[in-house]
Amino acid sequence: SSSTDVKENRNVDNVPPKDGGGQGTGEGTQLSNGGGSSSRKRPLEEGNNGHSKFRPKKRKKTPGPVLPKNALMQLNEIKPGLQYKLLSQTGPVHAPMFVMAVEVNGQVFEGSGPTKKKAKLHAAEKALRSFVQFPNASEAHLAMGRTLSVNTDFTSDQADFPDTLFNGFETPVPSDASFYLGSNGDGSFSSSGDYGLPSAAVASSLSQSPLPAPSPYPSASGKNPVMILNELRPGLKYEFLSESGESHAKNFVMAVAVDGQTFEGSGRNKKLAKARAAQSALASLFNMQLDQTPSRQPIPSEGLQLHLPQVLADAVARLVVDKFSDLTENFTSPHARRKVLAGIVMTTGTDVKDALVVSVSTGTKCINGEYMSDRGLALNDCHAEIISRRCLLKFLYTQLELYLSNKEDQQKSIFIKSERGGFKLKENVQFHLYISTSPCGDARIFSPHEAAQEDQGDRHPNRKARGQLRTKIESGEGTIPVRSTTTIQTWDGVLQGERLLTMSCSDKIARWNVLGIQGALLSLFVEPIYFSSIILGSLYHGDHLSRAVYQRIAEIEDLPPLYTLNRPLLSISNAEARQPGKAPNFSVNWTVGDTGLEVINATTGKDEMGRASRLCKHAFYSRWMRIHAKLSSSLRSKILKPNLYHETKQGATEYQTAKECLFKAFLKAGLGAWVEKPIEQDQFSLTV
């Protein structure tokens, strides 16, 4: 039996085993759920009659494409010495079902199967998928020895990149011959200007040899940059320069000297660093752009700079995950359990050292209607990204208080006085939102699986369901489209058992892209603030995400001054695995300055002791009142005697006008009417 076991194992990448065929197919379909869809696996190479024993020999002979190794082997190459644990064995003796688990980078991945070996294999496949976004991992190895998503397409709005991302580069050298125009229609990545190569070096390489016509090498050619460079200049020696970062987030720098010039590359392993160094050499000396997607750009060697969207995306994702690790004793605390992780990072320039994690949060559930608070003491929506944005509000209050405390602290605040009244952010301050998976609602509903390279586009962009406003369902997960008629939720209706509806995260993010992330209260003090980028850890589909967060309301009109339709940079970073298992009922939050995590029961919107969260409306309103007392002279709109929370919000007239424009834009596009919470929720004052 052991030999058939081995065969089965080898086979798993390609075809379901013959015995128990029905079961094999079932497993295949189950697997495709996570993105490595079984239909895209490579078929067995012709000519070896399917006998696995021929394969090792063949691998030695052919320098051609590497044959697929199974997931266990591949995972072992990337992470040697992992321990697989048997979690359970169920089912009758003749048809047992084993569940095996493996821990990688602090995350546990489980797999099940009719044999321990198959269960291990499935666990390994899930683990691999957490950092490999390819139909199968051997292609990922080919593509660069690193888990890059091939399809990072920052939607089509290339021209909308905030300038600050690129301000560290000199102006690209205009030279038609030296640039292969890839996915960036505006040529914002040019081979010579972009990497800050000394212009003399560029000039000399231009004079030495006439540059060949640009030769794009698609990754499909199956050769990585090191192989291509080796064909052009055999026998190059790569030098290991440095290693930095903690064990779970290392950064290696490798260098290679070609034709008297040294090229560096950095990456999370030496293989990737070599590939990036080789790529840099190919771009400069041979004018080869292997792939214009930003994810494949070599990183400039002058330290980790945040110009390139992919570098920025990876830095933001890594910072958020590292911070969550710090807060949960390296993911070991019981509150590290989560389905979705979100966080916000603030950058104040182009150096990653200046990036600050502002907030970290988890959660996937909403309040149960019976626990609604009419004094602003409960959190209605505990989805991770919604909580992270509330943490950001808390941070903004702290920064305003800092500005108002004394002259010395004024300099430290991210705010400055605005010539238009009130305050605005300092010049370079930007906020970036990270979510470990696509936001619920329109961004996720049509893309439940990872996108393969060929299906980044939406095949059915005109279907009526596209872009619809959707609501989360009370005490459950998932979303449903809003009713075609305007829904008015009432306090007594909800208390009598009508399900409380909360707008989906996709809809709320679209709203922030018009109204800003500061909300109505803060808009009385500060000008609108928008996210500069939104970075997902998995389920990234450029078309769906861009439609959900801004494109569907592109026709919005009559917005008041300073309000706009913000189009943040959209990106994916090293994809993470779908978090299996049941979603926990709690949500955690942390804002910079907090000593530790706050744990909230999502069903009640309060902590386990029944105390109000530090992020609740009541807490924010009291901070708002204190600032208002100091500031009433320099408000952006006048409010004489603030009383009810609701009335104070209504006093933010420009914000309310912008909100009306937003709701109109959704209606006009046929996407439905925004569902607001029962008005009684906000009829509280602080004198209570």
Query: Please, which residues have CB within 8 angstroms of residue 234's CB and are 6 or more apart in sequence?
Result: none
Torsion of CA 657, 660, 662, 667, to 10 degrees: -160
- Confirm whether 385 is a catalytic residue: yes
Cβ count within 10 A of residue 152 = 23
Listing DSSP states for 13-26 in one string gives: TTS--STTHHHHHH
Upper half-sphere CA count for residue 312 (Cβ side, 13 Å): 31
Judge whether 519 and 562 are in contact, CB under 8 Å: no
Beta strands in 437-568 (DSSP E): 470-472, 479-481, 502-503, 531-536
Q: Which of 8, 110, 125, 385 is catalytic?
A: 385
Beta strands in 22-170 (DSSP E): 84-90, 97-104, 107-113
**Number of helical H runs and strand E runs in the chain:** 20, 20
Torsion of CA 46, 132, 297, 188, to 10 degrees: 100
Residue 236: phi and psi, rounded to 5, are -75, 145
Which residues share a beta bridge with 675? none
Residue 3: phi and psi, rounded to 5, are -70, -35
Listing DSSP states for 223-274 in one string gives: --HHHHHHHHSTT--EEEEEEES-TTS-EEEEEEEETTEEEEEEESSHHHHH
Chain centroid to Cα 326, Å, comes to 20
| Whole-number Cα distances in Å, 134 to 25, 211, 273, 436, 455 | 21, 33, 20, 18, 13
Pairing of strands 586-591, 569-572: unpaired
Under DSSP, the state recorded for 437 is S
Rg over alpha carbons for the chain, rounded to the nearest Å, is 27
Residue 248: phi and psi, rounded to 5, are -90, -5
| Whole-number Cα distances in Å, 531 to 299, 348, 507, 511, 570 | 24, 13, 15, 12, 10
Three-class secondary structure of residue 586 per DSSP: strand
Under DSSP, the state recorded for 623 is H
Token pair for 401: 């208080």
Q: How far apart are CA 681 and CA 377, in angstroms?
A: 10
| Whole-number Cα distances in Å, 506 to 68, 110, 441, 548, 656 | 38, 29, 5, 6, 20
Choose among 219, 212, 154, 199: nearest CA to 573: 154
Token pair for 565: 């339709």
Choose among 140, 182, 154: nearest CA to 272: 140
H runs (alpha helix) in 300-432 = 309-327, 384-405, 407-412
Q: Which residues are marked as active site? A: 385
